[in-house]
């Protein structure tokens, strides 16, 4: 075998290297820390923020909170934070959840005019006996914790998208769902995806997991709609003995299957993160009443060995991983369709 053939063989072989070895750094036992999050374009900046904590032996909990706040504070983001797209009434409503290695968790849903829902979710976890606060109750709690009530305005891109949606929609107060559907497009008028939740999971230097998930939800949704992101076991789940998982895409499908919990349970049975995500997507495919081509679901998972993986229903889901050995490596998830 000549040198060119050897290099070709080695290159082909490198494509099959286990993600656990990539995370570990060529077989080293030191796999930690590792952070990964959904949707590469926003994940890079979010992962960098999380890494600034992880690389200094900070906790995974602090890291994921800091990481997803980057997306929450990005006024140009279509689907996370107060700059995101509104519901069909023109109001931006936010959902978020957070979970640590002890199984402690908190979430907020249908939260309006509060800048960082992930921080409110953490306050719910640490300062109340509850897991989930919603609507005006969540807002009141945030104000009691020192958060500020922001102006009720839309970002320029959200206002433009809302205006275009109203021109083309069949919106009416009384909706015949069977006849008209709920008239929520899978893509926005400018062609962007309509489901850019950020989900982030991490393992820190001492081997503890945490995760965070935050979104402004499906653009032009019915007023009061809540997706999977704030629901523990749906948009996010952590089991420190096994690993962590998070979801993005159409929340109704993830809620219906307790998606992130399901992924972690598959990992508990011995499946790799990618295979566990695939099996959860297959479960959704088998029971969803919706047209598969019109929805998207993506899962991410990370296990105790440092293996990570993702899988999607349709093509187009990507994510980024950052560790000592991976500098925000981009991964295009495999898909069923």
Is residue 243 within 8 Å of residue 264, measured between CB atoms?
Answer: yes
Pairing of strands 334-335, 308-312: parallel
Pair of tokens at residue 105: 């968790």
Q: Dump the DSSP string for 104-155.
A: -EEEEEEE-S-S-HHHHHHHHHHHSS-SEEEHHHHHHHHHHTT---------
Return the active site residues.
197
With 0-12 / 13-18 / 19 or more C-beta atoms within 10 angstroms meaning exposed / middle / buried, residue 291 is exposed
The crossing angle, in degrees rounded to 10, of helices 60-72 and 117-127 is 150
CB neighbours of residue 4 within 10 Å: 8
**Which residues pair with residue 303 across a beta bridge?**
243
């Amino acid at each position: 075998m000549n040198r060119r053939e050897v290099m070709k063989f080695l290159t082909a072989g490198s494509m099959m290297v286990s993600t656990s070895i990539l995370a570990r750094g060529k077989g080293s036992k030191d796999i930690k820390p590792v952070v990964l999050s959904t949707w590469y374009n926003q994940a890079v900046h979010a992962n960098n923020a999380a890494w600034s904590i992880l690389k200094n032996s900070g906790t995974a909990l602090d890291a994921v909170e800091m990481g997803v706040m980057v997306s929450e504070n990005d006024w140009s983001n279509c689907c996370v934070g107060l700059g995101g797209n509104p519901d069909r009434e023109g109001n931006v409503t936010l959902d978020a959840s957070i979970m640590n290695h002890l199984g402690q968790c908190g979430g907020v849903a249908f939260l309006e005019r509060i800048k960082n829902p992930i921080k409110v979710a953490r306050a719910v976890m640490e300062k109340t006996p509850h897991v989930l606060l919603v609507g005006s109750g969540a807002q009141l709690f945030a104000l009691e914790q020192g958060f500020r009530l922001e102006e009720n305005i839309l970002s320029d891109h959200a206002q433009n998208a809302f205006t275009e949606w109203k021109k083309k929609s069949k919106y009416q107060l009384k909706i015949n769902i069977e006849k008209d559907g709920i008239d929520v497009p899978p893509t926005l008028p400018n062609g962007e995806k309509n489901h850019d939740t950020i989900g982030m999971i991490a393992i820190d230097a001492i081997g503890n997991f945490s995760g965070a998930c935050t979104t402004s939800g499906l653009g032009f949704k019915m007023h009061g709609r809540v997706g999977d992101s704030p629901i523990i076991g749906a948009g996010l789940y952590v089991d420190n003995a096994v690993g962590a998982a998070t979801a993005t895409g159409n929340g109704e499908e993830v809620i219906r299957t307790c998606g992130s919990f399901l992924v972690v349970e598959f990992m508990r049975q011995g499946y790799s993160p990618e295979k566990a995500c695939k099996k959860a997507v297959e479960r959704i495919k088998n029971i969803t009443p919706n047209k598969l081509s019109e929805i998207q679901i993506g899962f991410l998972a990370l296990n105790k060995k440092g293996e990570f993986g993702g899988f999607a229903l349709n093509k187009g889901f990507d994510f980024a991983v950052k560790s000592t050995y991976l500098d925000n490596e981009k991964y295009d998830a495999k898909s069923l369709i």
